[in-house]
Amino acid sequence: NAGVTQTPKFRVLKTGQSMTLLCAQDMNHEYMYWYRQDPGMGLRLIHYSVGEGTTAKGEVPDGYNVSRLKKQNFLLGLESAAPSQTSVYFCASSNTGNEQFFGPGTRLTVL
Amino acid sequence: SQKIEQNSEALNIQEGKTATLTCNYTNYSPAYLQWYRQDPGRGPVFLLLIRENEKEKRKERLKVTFDTTLKQSLFHITASQPADSATYLCALDNDMRFGAGTRLTVKP
């Protein structure tokens, strides 16, 4: 039982490049979330999903897109990366929408 | 706008003492509140959830209170140990708005 895994662990991009972060969970959870964490600002919700095929915007969705084609996977896309998107990205999943299980994070730097 | 504040950015205490962390919120009426622990370089780990109709909740050495009148939650760690050193985050219900966290250091 791996829990929540994130790929990749680290990435460096140049401004304007695109990339996709992959989140996978093996707990059969309905809810999945993407957060970013910046120093002094805590976790901020980017997008979330309440089930396969559904997505919704969180607090800071601009510049990001997501897809939930399979229940176990939640993808976060950056179409044209900007330095302001330098952050640590966490994925989480939940069975009830309450207790969340977090992945180990992806550290992204945009130059 | 909705705001969550964890009053202390950092808290240093001596081993064996009780650590008390504060989470205040404004312009919001959460149905429940959660506390998470985060170690450096890792994702947060869920600790406790307390609902608006619960005044207090306990789990081993942890105790959480929830005062909807004061719009405040207190998180206590009794008989603290150096292994309790971490950042502790509070989060408000389904909106999953997190506070910035309090970094707790327990000194031996």
CA–CA distances in Å: residue A35 to residues A57, A58, A92 = 11, 9, 8
CA dihedral B36, B38, B43, B48 (to 10 degrees): -20
State residue B3's pLDDT score: 83
State residue A96's pLDDT score: 84
Residue whose tokens read 């901020």? A44
A56 Cα to chain B: minimum distance (Å): 12
pLDDT at A1 over 80: no
A27 Cα to chain B: minimum distance (Å): 16
State residue B94's pLDDT score: 65
Q: Do A4 and B98 touch (CB under 8 A)?
A: no
> Is B47 an 8 Å CB contact of chain A?
no
Query: pLDDT averaged over chain B?
Result: 92
Q: Which residue of B has its CA nearest to A6?
A: B43
pLDDT at B2 over 80: no
Q: What would the pLDDT profile of B54-73 be if each residue is shown by its tens digit?
A: 989 999 999 999 999 999 99
Q: What would the pLDDT profile of A21-72 be if each residue is shown by its tens digit?
A: 999 999 999 999 999 999 878 899 999 999 999 999 999 999 999 999 999 9
Using alpha carbons, select from B59, B62, B77, B63 the residue that is nearest to residue B16. B77
Choose the weakest-confidence range: A60-64, A79-83, B2-6: B2-6
* Contact (Cβ atoms closer than 8 angstroms) between residue B82 and residue B90: no
Structure tokens of B10? 């950092």
pLDDT band at B30 (very low <50, low <70, confident <90, very high): confident
Q: Do B100 and A92 touch (CB under 8 A)?
A: no
State residue A40's pLDDT score: 78
Share of chain A above pLDDT 90, in %: 92
> Is B108 an 8 Å CB contact of chain A?
no
pLDDT at B11 over 80: yes
> Is A65 an 8 Å CB contact of chain B?
no
Of B34, B43, B99, the CB nearest to A90: B43
Q: Which residue of B has its CA nearest to A56?
A: B95
**Bridge partners for A71 per DSSP:** none
Of A90, A100, A103, the CB nearest to B46: A100
Query: pLDDT averaged over chain A?
Result: 95
Using alpha carbons, select from A99, A95, A51 the residue that is nearest to residue A74. A51
**Best mutation site among A43, A87, A93 for testing chain B: the one with the most B CBs within 10 Å?**
A43
CA dihedral A97, A109, A38, B33 (to 10 degrees): 10
Q: Per-residue DSSP letters for B23-65?
A: EEEES---SEEEEEEE-TTS--EEEEEEETT-SEEEETTEEEE
**Bridge partners for B33 per DSSP:** B50, B92
Q: Do A42 and B96 touch (CB under 8 A)?
A: no
The larger pLDDT score, comparing residue A98 to residue A37, is at A37
pLDDT at B49 over 70: yes
- For residue A53, the SS3 value is coil
pLDDT band at B107 (very low <50, low <70, confident <90, very high): very high
* Mean pLDDT along residues A80-93: 97
Distance CA B100, CA A44 (A): 10
* Contact (Cβ atoms closer than 8 angstroms) between residue B47 and residue B28: no
